[in-house]
Amino acid sequence: MLPKIVGFLLNILSIFSSKSAARIAFKLFSVPRKGQITKQQAVFLDSAIQNIFYYKNNQIMTYKWKGNKDTVLLIHGWESNAGRWMDLITDLQKKDYTIVALDAPAHGNSGSLLFNAVLYAEFINVITKQFKPTIMVAHSMGGLAAAFSISKYKIKNIQKLILAGVPCKYSDVIMRYAHMMKYKKTIISKLKNSITEHFNVSPEALSTAKNIEKLNTKGLIIHDKEDNIIPYNDALIIKSSLKNSKLISTKGFGHSLKDSSVNSKIIEFITS
């Protein structure tokens, strides 16, 4: 009920000041409520080589586990952090891969007060230049940001791309948020304008499918049919866009896709 109550109050505010209502809606959309590192995750992440990089005064926290094989970059999603990958990292270490994970803007130990896919794409570009991964594994909004980063910066060295529970269009994410909050059309319109003004990129430009359609990269798309956050149909669109890819459909793992069988499929794809 809380989102509906907040949406109702902002709709009333919009009668008097649609700009103020949209500003609050934008902040609610951009500030994660979760994503802090747990004690268990902190202990695990302390086993990594930790380095801090910067993009426009924003701190980017990275974690590296050294191996003798290719570098795998792990990119988490909304309201999460690098610690979400603990089990997969352990599996990759057994295969002797070098692993790099980062915390997104406003998540974990990285900087910025707000999260957005454009800033996350910039973070990913900085880290990709630094560590030169040949494999990317991305979950949820991390995948959308990774696709935009690859497209914008013409990143060529990615040989394998794994997208798990990734949304197809940022504009659809905004509309699902707006519908959940029951926002009036005036707030939705100004919210989209605010995103464009803040990040100098229209929501329509942030499309996973469009940003990867020219890639020759070998791809793996994983999506749960019961995902109640990102519709399964998004995976079908992304699969059709990334020509050299295959789709693994799961059932019962939800949006998080946290299961040993999913990790096994990722490892199998990476090592093949």
Last residue of a domain, one of 160, 178, 205: 205
> Which amino acid makes up residue 213?
E
Q: What is the DSSP letter of 204?
A: G
Q: Is the distance from CB of 218 to CB of 42 less than 8 angstroms?
A: no
Q: Are residues 135 and 25 located together in one domain of the fold?
A: no
> Alpha carbon of 146 to those of 35, 73, 95, 133, 187: distances in Å?
19, 10, 24, 12, 28
Last residue of a domain, one of 205, 229, 257: 205
Q: Are residues 129 and 261 located together in one domain of the fold?
A: yes
CATH number for 48: 3.40.50.1820
Question: How many Cα atoms within 13 Å fall on the side-chain side of residue 54?
Answer: 3
Domain that holds residue 45: 35-169+207-271
Based on its alpha-carbon atoms, the radius of gyration of the chain, rounded to whole angstroms, reads 18
Q: Which residues of the chain carry a pLDDT beneath 50? A: none
pLDDT of residue 206: 94
Q: Are residues 18 and 121 located together in one domain of the fold?
A: no
pLDDT of residue 4: 82
Q: Are residues 165 and 183 located together in one domain of the fold?
A: no
Q: Are residues 201 and 102 located together in one domain of the fold?
A: no
Q: How many domains does the chain have?
A: 2
pLDDT of residue 194: 85
Q: Is the distance from CB of 51 to CB of 222 less than 8 angstroms?
A: no
Run of H or E including 209: helix 208-212
Tell me the three state secondary structure of residue 65.
strand
Token readout for 251 is 């059932």
Q: Are residues 125 and 86 located together in one domain of the fold?
A: yes
Question: How many Cα atoms within 13 Å fall on the side-chain side of residue 216?
Answer: 2
In DSSP notation, 138-178 reads: EETHHHHHHHHHHHHTT-----EEEEES--SBHHHHHHHHH
Tell me the helices (H) and strands (E) count for the chain, helix number first: 11, 8
Last residue of a domain, one of 182, 205, 228: 205
Q: Are residues 150 and 180 located together in one domain of the fold?
A: no
Q: Are residues 68 and 179 located together in one domain of the fold?
A: no
How far is Cα 269 from Cα 272, in angstroms, rounded to an integer? 5
Q: Are residues 219 and 180 located together in one domain of the fold?
A: no
Q: Are residues 24 and 118 located together in one domain of the fold?
A: no
pLDDT of residue 197: 85
How far is Cα 66 from Cα 140, in angstroms, rounded to an integer? 26
Q: Are residues 23 and 83 located together in one domain of the fold?
A: no
Cβ neighbours of 68 (radius 10 Å): 7
pLDDT of residue 3: 79
CA-angle at 253, arms to 240 and 245, nearest 5°: 20
pLDDT of residue 90: 98
Q: Are residues 89 and 157 located together in one domain of the fold?
A: yes
Record the pTM. 0.95
pLDDT of residue 241: 97
